[in-house]
């Protein structure tokens, strides 16, 4: 037996979905505007997770042109059937004229390669897929109700999928409109069949404080579905905003090889007041069945801080549990870029990257020269060592990113015979300088972000000189409570020519990410 701390995936790993194949578990999460998209994680015991690939990992697989922050890939579902892995997902926010909506991808190996998208004629978001034991395949999802009884009422629809054409076929059935009258934004509907009964589970009330998981059952897959009088079967809203974990929901169930049941779900850890800079994280909860219904965290009734997994043989380990620190090499699967793959904006070089400056800035809905990592810990340091010869108007730095509208960057620019470092808070599309300092030219730069809870320090050094704090900011000014959207914070290095053509390359010699608590 082993004990794992929650969350099992710290940092912005929202909307988890899970499946089991033999003794192996596979999990995917949302990635929004970041690429590569939809990380695929593998575990043998639900305790230790290793990232083995991504579903969206090659140029041209999906078109991200014009997708603003908190758009992109929403709420994937992963399933395995007849030797094939299936992921169904939604691409949100595409400008008019570009492909978008709900799609399927398949693979024989969950590490990839995955197929190109197969687009589905289906409205709404958060699609899921269910393989019945009679061989029929059912796609289901959620959308705004066509004939709503209240504002933002949603409904769950289900329709059959042709296994040969991968197209929806036959009539559509609306099977659920919510467990609680007045609840909004049903999300993450999933179908299961347990002991001959069909179960439809979905989260309601929006992916924030009032998030709640509900369930219904039916004798046939197309309904009618009847909810348990115990709904919601999991929520933290009754615990209040002072509870350290809020917004529990968006769950997916899996049966282990030993017959035990588990759920992965999202929730948020608050700090610095009612804020969650790390975003929506993935948690693990034990489940038992009583009177024909699942019971989450039996005897506890909330997401536990620690979970005992009887069939796990060792302690949690690996970077996703926060135990790895130090240099993050270019082949680390945690690297991301915005609206493009890291390999499309930079080239691996030694321990780091060669990052050509681009005209796009961090404020543009475009492909900027940016390489980033999720902030996974309340206390952590990101340090980038960068060598670059900047021309007038060019800029290199590190950034704490929420979106193009809201971020804090440490920007280094030419200034006479030297350089000048400024900490700039972009808030609701307006820039404000929080601090500045002169920096000597001619030596590699050491650019750092120090996160200590809600407090952020942005630090610069040149060569062997003593690093100086250029400015401070608050992570709580950047989280989704303060800014909107759906994302946790990213730390990264960037370089821009601010709209001008350029051939300058920033040599990112090394980047380290170190949890400090």
Annotated catalytic sites, by residue?
A: 15, 187
Q: Please state the φ and ψ torsions of residue 134, each to the nearest 5 degrees.
A: -95, 5
The two tokens of residue 393 are 């108007």
**Cis amide leading into 214 (omega within 30):** no
Strand, helix or coil for residue 132? coil
* Euclidean distance between CA atoms 108 and 110, whole angstroms: 7
| 3-class SS shares of the chain: helix, strand, coil, % to 5 | 5, 50, 45
User: Residue 252: which of 52, 87, 113 has the closest Cα?
Assistant: 87
* Euclidean distance between CA atoms 357 and 372, whole angstroms: 15
* Euclidean distance between CA atoms 44 and 314, whole angstroms: 11
Q: What is the secondary structure of 49-93 as a DSSP string?
A: -EEEEEEE-STTSS--TTPPTT-EEEEEEEEEETTEEEEEEEEE-
Report in angstroms the alpha-carbon separations of 473 from 350, 406, 407, 431, 460: 32, 12, 10, 13, 15
What is the separation, in whole angstroms, between the first and last Cα of the chain? 26
CB atoms within 10 A of CB 1: 8
Long-range contacts of 137-142 (CB under 8 A, 24+ apart): 137/81, 137/161, 137/162, 137/163, 138/191, 138/221, 139/88, 139/168, 140/175, 140/189, 140/191, 140/200, 141/90, 141/102, 141/189, 142/185, 142/186, 142/187, 142/188, 142/189, 142/202
Strand, helix or coil for residue 343? helix
Q: For 441, which DSSP code? A: S
Helix (H) and strand (E) counts in the chain? 2, 39
């Amino acid at each position: 037996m082993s004990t794992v701390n929650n969350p099992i995936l710290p940092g912005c790993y929202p909307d988890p979905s899970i499946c089991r194949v033999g003794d192996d578990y596979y999990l995917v999460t949302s990635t929004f505007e970041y690429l590569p998209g939809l990380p695929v994680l593998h575990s043998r015991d639900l305790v230790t997770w290793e990232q083995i690939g991504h579903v969206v990992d090659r140029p041209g697989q999906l078109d991200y042109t014009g997708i603003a922050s908190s758009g992109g890939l929403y709420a994937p579902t992963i399933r395995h059937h007849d030797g094939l892995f299936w992921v169904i997902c939604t691409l949100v926010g595409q400008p008019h004229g570009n492909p978008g909506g709900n799609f399927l991808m398949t693979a024989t190996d969950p590490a990839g390669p995955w197929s190109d998208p197969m687009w589905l004629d289906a409205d709404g978001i958060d699609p899921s897929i269910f393989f019945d034991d009679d061989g029929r395949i059912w796609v289901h999802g959620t959308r705004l109700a066509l004939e709503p009884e209240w504002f933002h009422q949603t409904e769950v629809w289900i329709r059959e999928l042709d296994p040969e054409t991968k197209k929806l076929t036959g009539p559509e059935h609306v099977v659920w409109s919510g467990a609680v009258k007045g609840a909004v934004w049903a999300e993450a509907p999933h179908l299961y069949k347990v002991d001959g009964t069909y179960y439809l589970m979905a989260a309601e009330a929006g992916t924030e404080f009032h998030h709640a998981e509900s369930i219904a059952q039916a004798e046939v897959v197309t309904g009618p579905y009847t909810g348990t009088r115990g709904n919601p079967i999991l929520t933290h809203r009754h615990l209040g905003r002072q509870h350290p974990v809020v917004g529990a929901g968006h769950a997916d169930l899996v049966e282990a090889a030993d017959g035990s049941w588990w759920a992965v779900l999202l929730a948020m850890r608050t700090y610095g007041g009612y804020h969650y800079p790390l975003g929506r994280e993935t948690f693990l909860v034990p489940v038992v069945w009583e009177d024909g219904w699942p019971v989450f965290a039996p005897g506890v009734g909330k997401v536990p801080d620690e979970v005992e997994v009887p069939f796990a043989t060792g302690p949690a380990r690996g970077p996703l549990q926060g135990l790895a620190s130090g240099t993050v090499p270019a082949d680390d699967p945690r690297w991301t870029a915005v609206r493009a793959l890291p390999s499309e904006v930079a080239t691996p070089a030694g321990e780091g990257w060669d990052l050509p400056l681009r005209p796009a800035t961090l404020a543009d809905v475009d492909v900027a020269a940016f390489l980033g990592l999720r902030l996974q810990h309340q206390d952590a340091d990101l340090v980038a060592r960068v060598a670059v010869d900047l021309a007038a108007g060019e800029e290199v730095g590190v950034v704490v990113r929420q979106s193009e509208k809201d971020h804090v960057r440490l920007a280094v620019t030419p200034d006479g015979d030297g350089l000048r470092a400024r900490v700039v808070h972009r808030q609701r599309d307006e820039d404000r300088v929080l601090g500045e300092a002169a920096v000597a030219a001619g030596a590699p730069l050491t650019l750092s972000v120090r996160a200590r809870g809600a407090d952020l320090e942005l630090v610069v050094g040149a060569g062997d000189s003593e690093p100086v704090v250029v400015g401070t900011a608050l992570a709580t000014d950047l989280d989704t409570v303060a800014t909107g959207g759906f994302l946790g914070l990213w730390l990264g290095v960037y370089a821009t020519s601010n709209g001008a053509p350029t051939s300058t390359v920033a040599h990112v010699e090394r980047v380290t990410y170190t949890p400090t608590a």
